[in-house]
Structure 1
Amino acid sequence: MADVVQYKLERMVEELEDLEKRGIFSRREIAEIVKQRRKFEYRLKRPSPLKEDYLSYIDYEKSVDALRVLRKMNKEEEGKKKRRVSDYAGVARIVEIYRLASNRFKGDIHLWFQYLEFCRLKRNGHMKKVLAQVLRFHPKVPGVWIYAASWEFDHNFNAAAARALMQSGLRSCPTSEALWVEYLRMELTYLNKLSARRAELGEGVGTLVRHQPDPEEKQWREENKELFMPIGGENEDYKELDVQNEELKQKMDIFREKGFNILQTVYKCAVEALPSSFSLRAQFLEILETTNLANSENMQTEILADMKIEFSKEPGYWDWLAKYEGTGSKSAHEAIKVYDEALKTIPSSTMFDLYIKFLMDIIGRTGNRQISRLSDLSDSDIDPVSHVLMVFEKAESMQCITENLACQHVSFLLELGRLDDARDLAEKFCNGELSEAVNMWVLRLSIEMKRLTTPSKADFSLVFYLLQNPLRKIAVSKAESLWLMGLNYFSNQKQYFDKLVEISLSSLIRDGGSDDGFSLSSAIVNFVLQRNGIQNARDMYKRFLSLPRPGLAFYRNCIEMELNLASSAGGKAHLVETRQLYEAALSTYDQDESLWQDYHSMESKMGTSETTAAVHWRARKTLKGNATLLT
């Protein structure tokens, strides 16, 4: 190992001498560079070098080379342009390290791309060789074929090689959407370059890029048509010009026809390879819209028809189609028509949710929910607020209402300031099909609580009556927000707080405690601790501990509470209570390693050596020697 490292360092002598001779690095700096390189070389010669070793070496060499270039720019005399050994030795060394790393970690595609990017930036002539290697090792990665074709097309200006690479990639990865889309883009880009070249030579009339005229410019041209007409009427010169323009137009039509044939061929092959891909067709349609091709409208109609046949049962298709119809010069009214058609085809809650989200986005763009008309719905006068409410009602009538849609409906009414309507609707949902919807109950109770600014005893009784119904029916694990809302609201009302505790006891007997996540008993104990002190909190948690399954989360909460008090007050009573809690928890969860670890840690910090050793011995005996975490 040492001989190999020494040999590599000796090969650097010429480069280092040149750097010192030119005054780029001092002798002391060169000694430090040699020291660092020796360290990195020994790392690479280990039996199993890590990828980080190679990358650290590369980063160091890049920083050294960057410093060399900077100092060379400051020291180099004018007229001296001959490259010397130190000018290219750093890049060659980095390439060699990349080669070693890629040979050892052939499956790391990210490393290969770093290698390729370095070769592309430095233009050191290794690009083709590295591309051939990565294509050999990763023929099933579409990004590699796209990268290679892009380099041939943009850097070498070799369209034939780029085309061959893309076609080879499509044979290796026929189900890659990105490859099909990029192949089409490349072919159309090449055709567009040919058309632009003809136009520069005076043999064409433009490119294949579709021109989007400015509406104001278009209107001005229509209003001032006479400015673009010949002053003396048509004469022979203008007739000859028209003939020339017609010939140029015919040549342009040839390019447009070729572009259409390419798109049609690639589209058919791509659909055969990916018959169930919706995004592929959408991307092809996007390319078609931005390109000026012959028969583009017919092709657009064909693609849309295929998409409707294949994906008419998917809500995502209708949502995309509605947004597609509502963009550009098309009105949002067309999008609403699409959503209405979608509801007839697939009446589902997902479709209603997408429809309402679209309408909300339109209303949000106006900046005011109280508007009476939308300016962009030019084809028809539509009251957006009424339309959204109509869609909500339609979802309910078609039995597609969900908890999310119902909450959106109530919240929308609240934003409109229709408090009574929102309250009645929430009551209707809670008493009907959404009687166990937690979020709807939270919304209804929040409406009632906000309405009662200075609640009386009757008001407290009404809110408690509403609250107890879902608390008794819904599982504790699902009703976390309801319980917290009730405990907060009645925290200063002892009568109703005690009733909530009784309901919680019966609910926990039915559902059991939680081992992780939300713990109702822990929340109640914490409320009691803040309001009435530690003694009442102890009495409360002992009531919950007497239940059949208190839950590990509750044990941990009580232990944490006692430990906090023991560390702050320093009393032995808290330590005794903490030990009793650990013992009670371990009687049920004796195979929980983390619980034993916490117990052992507590004894090592607050107990004696005897109690610590006893816990350690019991843990090893119970866990059968697996108490490796006890240190």
Structure 2
Amino acid sequence: MADAVQYRLERMSDELDDLERRGLFTRAELAEVVRRRRDFEFRLRRRSPLRSDFLDYIAYELRLDALRDLRKRAIIRATPDTTDHDADATDNDSSKKKKKKKRNKGKAKKWKKSVSDIAGVLRVLDIYRMATVRYKGDLDLWFRYLEFCRDKRHGRMKQALAQAIRYHPKVPGLWIYAAAWEFDQNLNVAAARALMQTGLRSCPESEDMWIEYLRMELTYLNKLKARKVALGEDVKTLQKKNNDASTWKEENKELFMSLNEQDEGPKEPGSQGVALEGKEDLFWQQGLLIIQTIYHGATKALPSSLTLRKKFLEILNSVDLAHSDELKVEVMDDLKKEFSDSEDYWDWLARLQLSDSTSSSNLNRMEALSNKLNKSIQVYDEAVRRLPTSRMYSLYAKFWMGVLFADTEDSISLFHGGEFDASGFTSCILKVYQNAESSGCLTEDLACQYVSLYLRLGGLEEAPGRLEEARNLAKKLCNGPLSHAADLWNLRASIEMKSLATSTGISSFSKENLSSLFDLFNVALPKLPIHEAEELWHTAMKLFSHEKVYFEKLVKCAMLSLSSAGGNDCGASVSSAIVGWILQRDGIKQARKMYKRFLALPRPSFKFFQYCIELETNLASIGNQDSLVNARKLYDAALDLYPQERELWRNYYNMELKLGTSETANAIYWRARKVLGDSSALDIPHS
């Protein structure tokens, strides 16, 4: 290993001599450079070099080369000018600029390129090569390598791309990167097209590759169109409604000269125009054929991809090329044929109508918005007729929420500029929910949105009657097919409390109101699984925490629900909350009685054991001996049910270390080793 390192260092001698001879580094600085490079080389030559070793070496070499370049520029600027000493002082500004430019060229000629100018780049490339050989599967390292080659415009770029693709042929990003470099940097369209086609054979299911291939071909067609404009050819068939190029050429026709006017005689203008138009039509037909081929290949490889077709259509709409309307119509027909049973397609199609500007060019803004909205409504109505599903109604309602309210997540900015009044369309969104209910597509989420809409409209319109409508609707839905919807019951409870508070005008409730609210909770809570109705349980406990009669009834109901849950940890929050309320209201003695009642149920949950243990441990830490005894009993009871819980053993042992004696701590330690069969489960006890 030392011989290999020494050999690599000796190969740097020419570079180091050149750096010293040119005055870029002193001998002491070069000695430090050699020392650092030796350290890095030894790190790379060890048995298993780390990725960070290569990156640290590369970072050091880049900083060193940047310092060399900075000092080189400083020396060039400080070089005295030995030419033009006898220049006349009366020279004008233009002659001074010319002389300054000439002097700069003279300085650059004096500093010719040498081995030290290219050695740094070559060394970094060599380190990258070794790193990618060692870590072939590291894509980030490969892209760093490629970016460095591209930035330095080095000839090793092709070799690096070939190696990266050979090791990662199934990574679409590498194929796209290679094709983009060939197209943009190397200006080789044929090579870029070949790379994309080969990549599509390796990754036929990559949407990004198909999209980028289409972008590349369209970019190439645009370049050809610009080239025709520069050559003075008529490109009116390549443009839709833009005659600027033709007008400019007509006004500046003396700038264009025919290249073969000496060989050919004058031709009739009519025949020449027909021939040119035929060539342009043939050119565009070939270009359109390429785009159609890409589209058909993409749809064949990804027949079930809706996003692919949407992106194709977006790209075609973003470019201003003639004869592309036929392909757009074909894409739209394929979308309707293949995805007419998809809710996402209909939602996209309806929202697409809002960006349609073909039929609204001669209308004012209000009429244009109304027309677009009506088109979207027609699409959604057709969608719910064809697909009367819960998701379709949900997307329809979401669209209306974006139209009516500006503070929603999917708000549509077109209708919130101040000119358009969308408040008159509230009946439309209510009709959507009503149709969903009548068709049996009203899910729990839709029902909650339906009820919440009435509450929101009541605040928007300042109509107190909306609250009563929301209350009646929630009551009807909870007593209907959605009687087991926990979120709907929770919403109904909040509406009932808000309605009672609004009617009485005070924050506290009377006995009659509390009785009616308890009847509501008493109907809802036994129906719902305790892990789904946790929020409803907490609301009820908070409401009746100071009403002992109602609270005791809630406790009995909770015990029934917990016994049916069978030790489910999701119900632990309910039992823990009940114990917490009892602790605040009646003290620790009543809280102990309460948690013992819950622990007497079949298989109490592990989380509830943890809560009770933490409660007793906190009291024991402030000197309550009864709490320490109770904590030990709780630990023993929990370990009888959950003997393999390492965390429980560890907490028990730590409690004995802090609050107990060495004998009790040692006893817990050996019990844990015996049960768990692992000597490393707990720390070694202190003697």
1:510 matched residue in structure 2:
564
Measure, in 2, the Cα distance between the counterparts of 1:492 and 1:208: 81
* In structure 2, distance between residues paired with 1:39 and 1:53: 10
**What's the counterpart of residue 237 of structure 1?**
none
2:222 maps to what in 1? 192
Identity %: 53
**Residue aligned with 2:638, SS:** helix
Q: Give the secondary-structure state (helix, strand or coil) at the position aligned to 1:548.
A: coil
Q: Distance in 2 between matches of 1:470 and 1:525?
A: 22
What is the deviation of 1:112? 1.2
Q: TM-score, normalised by structure 1?
A: 0.87
Letter in 1 for 2:615: M
Residue 565 in structure 1 maps to residue 595 in structure 2: no
Counterparts of 1:342-381 in structure 2, within 5 Å, are: 342-365=383-406
How far is 1:201 from its partner? Answer: 2.3
CA contact (8 A) 1:256 1:292 kept: no
Q: Structure 1 residues 571 and 256 mapped into 2: Cα distance closer, same or farther (>3 Å)?
A: same
Could you tell me which of 525, 535, 538 is aligned with 1:484?
A: 538
Query: What is the aligned partner in structure 1 of residue 149 from structure 2?
Result: 119
TM-score scaled by structure 2? 0.80
Correspondence for 2:381: 340
Is the 8 Å Cα contact of residues 404 and 422 (structure 2) preserved in structure 1? Answer: no
Q: Given the alignment of the two structures, is residue 281 of structure 1 paired with residue 309 of structure 2, yes or no?
A: yes
Q: In structure 2, the residue corresponding to 1:422 is in which secondary structure? A: helix
8 Å contact 2:239–2:322 — kept in the other structure? no
Quick check: 1:308 aligned with 2:356?
no
Q: In the alignment, residue 288 of structure 2 is paired with which amino acid?
A: F
Q: Distance in 2 between matches of 1:365 and 1:382?
A: 12
- State the partner residue of 2:660: 607
Q: Deviations over 1:85-110 (max 9, x none)?
A: 44333322222221111111212222
1:438 aligns with 2:489: no
Q: For residues 25-63 of structure 1, give each alpha carbon's deviation from its aligned partner in whole angstroms, at most 9, with x where no partner exists.
A: 566655555454444333322322232332333334334
Partners of 1:483 and 1:520 within 8 A in 2 = yes
Q: Which residue of 2 aligns with 1:426?
A: 474
- 8 Å CA contact 2:238–2:321 kept in 1: the answer is yes
> 2:204 maps to which residue?
174
The answer to whether 1:406 aligns with 2:454 is: no
User: What corresponds to 1:460 in structure 2?
Assistant: 514
**Whole-angstrom distance in 2 between the partners of 1:604 and 1:9:** 60
**Which amino acid in the other structure matches residue 608 of structure 1?**
T
What is the distance in 1 between the residues matched to 2:512 and 2:407? 43
Question: After superposition, what is the alpha-carbon deviation per residue over 1:213-234, rounded to whole angstroms, capped at 9, x for unaligned?
Answer: 9xxxxxxxxxxxxxxxxxxxxx
Say whether 1:147 aligns with 2:177. yes
Contact 2:350-2:375 within 8 A present in 1 as well: yes
Q: Which runs of 5+ in 2 are unaligned?
A: 80-106, 244-267, 360-371, 409-413, 459-465, 502-506
Any residues of structure 2 matched to 1:84-103 within 5 Å, and which?
A: 84-103=114-133
Letter in 2 for 1:390: K
Task: Give, in angstroms, the shift of residue 295 of structure 1.
Answer: 3.7
Query: Once the 2 structures are TM-superposed, how far is the Cα of residue 541 of structure 1 from its aligned partner?
Result: 1.5
Other structure's SS at 2:674 match: helix
How many residue pairs end up in the alignment? 598
| Aligned residue in 1 for 2:195 | 165
C-alpha distance in 1 between matches for 2:63 and 2:14: 20
Contact 2:316-2:324 at 8 Å conserved across structures: yes
Residue 370 of structure 1 corresponds to none
Counterparts of 2:525 and 2:601, CA distance in 1: 18
Specify the alignment match of 2:102 in structure 1.
Answer: none
For the residues of structure 2 that align with 1:484 and 1:29, how far apart are their CA atoms? Answer: 72
> Which moves more between the two structures, 269-278 or 426-435?
269-278
Q: Secondary structure at the match of 2:405?
A: helix
Aligned to 1:138: 168
**Cα contact 2:237–2:281 (8 A) shared by 1:** no
Q: 1:227 matched to which residue of 2? A: none
**Could you say which residue in structure 1 is the equivalent of 2:349?**
321
Deviates more, 1:292-301 or 1:146-155: 292-301
For the residue of structure 1 that corresponds to 2:492, the secondary structure is helix
Matching residue of 2:606: 552
* 1:257 corresponding residue in structure 2: 285
Partner of 1:42: 42
In the alignment, is the contact (CA less than 8 A) between 1:603 and 1:611 conserved in 2? yes
Match of 2:3 in 1: 3
Alignment deviations for residues 602-623 of structure 1 (CA, whole Å, 9 cap, x no partner): 3334333332222221112111
2: CA distance between counterparts of 1:577 and 1:254?
93
Aligned to 2:256: none
- How big is each residue's C-alpha offset from its partner over 1:214-265, in whole Å with a ceiling of 9 and x where there is no partner? xxxxxxxxxxxxxxxxxxxxxxxxxx99999888766654443333222112
Q: Which residue does 2:295 correspond to in 1?
A: 267
Q: Distance in 2 between matches of 1:503 and 1:27?
A: 88
Q: Distance in 2 between matches of 1:571 and 1:14?
A: 81
Letter paired with 1:560: E
Shift of the 523–294 alpha-carbon distance from structure 1 to 2, 3 Å rule, reads same
**Equivalent AA in structure 2 for residue 600 of structure 1:** Y
Kept in 2: contact 1:342–1:351 (CA 8 A): yes
AA at the equivalent of 2:476: K
CA deviation profile, 1:125-184 (whole Å, cap 9, x unmatched): 211110010111111222111111100000011111111111111222222222222112
Q: Say if 1:322 and 1:334, in contact at 8 Å, map to a contact too.
A: yes
Return the alpha-carbon distance in structure 2 between the equivalents of residues 62 and 275 of structure 1. 48
Q: Give the stretch that moved more between structures: 241-250 or 275-284.
A: 241-250
Q: Which runs of 5+ in 1 are unaligned?
A: 214-239, 368-372
Contact 2:182 2:191 in 1 (8 A): yes
Q: 2:550 aligns with which of 477, 491, 496?
A: 496
* CA distance in 2 between partners of 1:436 and 1:516 (Å): 18
Q: String of CA shifts for 1:403-449, please: whole Å, max 9, x gaps.
A: 11111111111011111111111111111111111111111111112
Secondary structure of the structure 2 residue equivalent to 1:477: coil
Task: Measure the CA separation in 2 of the matches of 1:422 and 1:2.
Answer: 83
Q: Deviations over 1:353-411 (max 9, x none)?
A: 111111111223499xxxxx9699x9999932111011010100110001111111111
Q: Distance in 1 between matches of 2:271 and 2:424?
A: 54
CA distance in 1, matches of 2:593, 2:521: 25
1:402 maps to amino acid:
T
Q: Does 1:447 align with 2:495?
A: yes
Which residue does the alignment assign to 2:642? 589
Cα shift readout 1:6-25 (whole Å, capped 9, x = no counterpart): 43344445445555665655
- Structure with the greater alpha carbon radius of gyration: 2
- Give 3-state SS (helix, strand or coil) of 1:260's partner: helix
Map of 2:253 onto structure 1:
none
Instruction: Read off the aligned partner of 1:622 and give its amino acid letter.
Output: V
Cα shift at 1:327: 1.4
CA contact (8 A) 2:534 2:571 kept: no
Measure the CA separation in 2 of the matches of 1:305 and 1:192: 26
- Verify the 8 A CA contact 2:15 2:115 in the aligned structure 1: yes
Let me know the Cα RMSD of the aligned residues.
3.1
Whether the 8 Å CA contact 2:237–2:277 is kept in 1: the answer is: no
8 Å contact from structure 1 (residues 326, 333) kept in 2: no
Partner of residue 201, structure 1: 231
Q: 1:97 & 1:515 partners in 2: Cα distance?
A: 55
Q: Contact 1:208–1:291 at 8 Å: present in 2 too? A: no
Letter paired with 1:389: L
Which range moves more in the overlay, 56-65 or 497-506?
Answer: 56-65
Cα separation, 1, equivalents of 2:31 and 2:567: 67
Q: Secondary structure at the match of 1:326?
A: helix
